[in-house]
Structure 1
Amino acid sequence: MTKVITVCNQKGGVGKTTMTMSLASLWHHQGKSVVIVDTDRQQSATKWEQRSETFPVPVTPILPDQLKTFASAVRKRAEGADIVLVDTPPTLAGDTVTIACFVADLVLVPIKPDALHIDALEEFRGFLDEANAKRAKLEMDPLNVRLVVNMMPNRKAARLVVEKLEELTGLAALTNRIGDRSDFQLAALNRAGLVEVSAATSPAYKELVALASEIEESL
């Protein structure tokens, strides 16, 4: 059965698109069928794929308008796929992120370990409460949400951030985190997946593999 993962955070600069593209490329190289849906009007994921000669995962731009039509479009695009990754815009304005979350089996929220991003996530908590209230009226389960610490400067900082985040939001954070690694910047510059620019023995590669495995367990 196809699993849909929506990657979102209303604050820019948390590495949503880089994480989306890196996970997609990794799963592809692990033998899974993966597609990416780009709901951001800036179309960062779409441009990444279009400007690359090697990126192995197709990207489809779909701008959500109504839940029914968006869900139908995602299902059509997902036919035969193991995983669909939905990249979202850095805003909660409009219905785009709400609709993208509604179709998800897992909502993945990248977060940088600093005070400004923690403050922004308090607003995101309110958004999730509203989304879950709508789901309850439709007799749907609450959203399956996991935080993931990205661009982690050191393990102590990540631990303190996770403790604060879980205290403020009541949301669970994944155990595996992504460090502030230059390999991810290199992948973005080259419009490539991390696995295409980083050795399998590198810390960045190992962190991504561990994170991807935990994400699959959370679905």
Structure 2
Amino acid sequence: MIVALLNQKGGVGKTTLALHLAGQWTRQGRRVLLIDADPQGSALDWSQQRATEGLPRLFSVVGLARDTLHIEAPELARGMDHVVIDGPPRVANLLRSALFACDLALIPVQPSPLDGWASAEMLKLIDQARIFKPEIGARFLLNRYHARTLIARATAESLAEHDPPLLAHHVGQRVVFADAMQTGRLVSEIDPESAAAREITALAAEIEAIRS
């Protein structure tokens, strides 16, 4: 399965989610490749930081920020159980290529009206891509969710009425994710019993079940 984390709005947590999904599936014995399709190369930076810290490699990270992604990704996926694509913000041709490459597009959004407006543009791109590849799946993924805030609950309720649907499992606003990104680690390595680690485990299981 090729899963792409995509949203035209930057700062929604695509890289963090991509790395943690790849890490979770790797820990479960899956063969996983992460493609860094963001010109900023944040996933590659994380991988390099991990090497600098002397930590063992969990999965391969390759940079492929070009609009031939839909041609190259299926080849790279040979022999893999999952390929995770960390998509770019606001690079239209690259976004379209990532859409054509994937089986499932995950659209991370934060509890914010601005994220909702940006997601509307992403949905247009998905509709356009489905003209040529109708089997592309899509789901919203609520990230940095705080259940006690009105805007978070309103965002969840709004997305629940959307097509594509909202994943049942959310990821909370947690400092440990920032620590993980800075140190080249995963939250499961920092604190395997944490709420963050449990959220990633549940999220990865739900996503994998979509294509099982």
Scaled by the length of structure 1, what TM-score is found?
Answer: 0.87
Deviations 1:15-60 (A, max 9, x none): 0000001111111111111110111111111111122122511111
Q: Distance in 2 between matches of 1:109 and 1:119?
A: 13
- Amino acid in the other structure paired with 1:74: A
Task: Please tell me whether residue 213 in structure 1 is matched to residue 205 in structure 2.
Answer: yes
- Amino acid in the other structure paired with 2:173: D
Kindly report which structure 2 residues correspond to 1:52-201, keeping only aligned pairs within 5 A, or say none.
Answer: 52-53=50-51, 54=55, 55-66=57-68, 70-91=69-90, 93-133=91-131, 135=132, 140-154=133-147, 157=150, 158-167=152-161, 169-199=162-192, 201=193
Contact 2:108 2:140 in 1 (8 A): yes
Contact 1:148 1:177 in 2 (8 A): yes
Contact 1:25 1:56 in 2 (8 A): yes
Cα deviation for residue 115 of structure 1 reads 1.2
Cα deviation for residue 159 of structure 1 reads 3.9
Cα deviation for residue 63 of structure 1 reads 2.6
Q: Distance in 1 between matches of 2:92 and 2:4?
A: 16
* Secondary structure class of the residue paired with 1:173: coil
Deviations 1:48-100 (A, max 9, x none): 1122122511111113334xxx3342233222211000111111x33101111
Q: Distance in 2 between matches of 1:142 and 1:28?
A: 26
Cα deviation for residue 122 of structure 1 reads 1.7
What is the identity percentage for the equivalent residue pairs of Structure 1 and Structure 2? 33
How many residue pairs get aligned? The number is 206
Cα deviation for residue 114 of structure 1 reads 1.1
Cα deviation for residue 209 of structure 1 reads 0.6
Kindly report which structure 2 residues correspond to 1:37-56, keeping only aligned pairs within 5 A, or say none.
Answer: 37-53=35-51, 54=55, 55-56=57-58
Scaled by the length of structure 2, what TM-score is found?
Answer: 0.90
Contact 1:183 1:204 in 2 (8 A): yes
Q: Cα–Cα, structure 1 residues 97 and 19, in superposed 2: closer, same or farther, change >3 Å?
A: same
- Amino acid in the other structure paired with 2:113: A
- Amino acid in the other structure paired with 1:160: A
Q: Distance in 2 between matches of 1:118 and 1:147?
A: 10
Unaligned runs of 5+ in 2: none
Deviations 1:101-146 (A, max 9, x none): 112111011110111111211222222222223x1xxxx3242000
Unaligned runs of 5+ in 1: none
User: Which position in structure 1 is the counterpart of 2:26?
Assistant: 28
Contact 2:49 2:183 in 1 (8 A): no
Q: Cα–Cα, structure 1 residues 189 and 73, in superposed 2: closer, same or farther, change >3 Å?
A: same
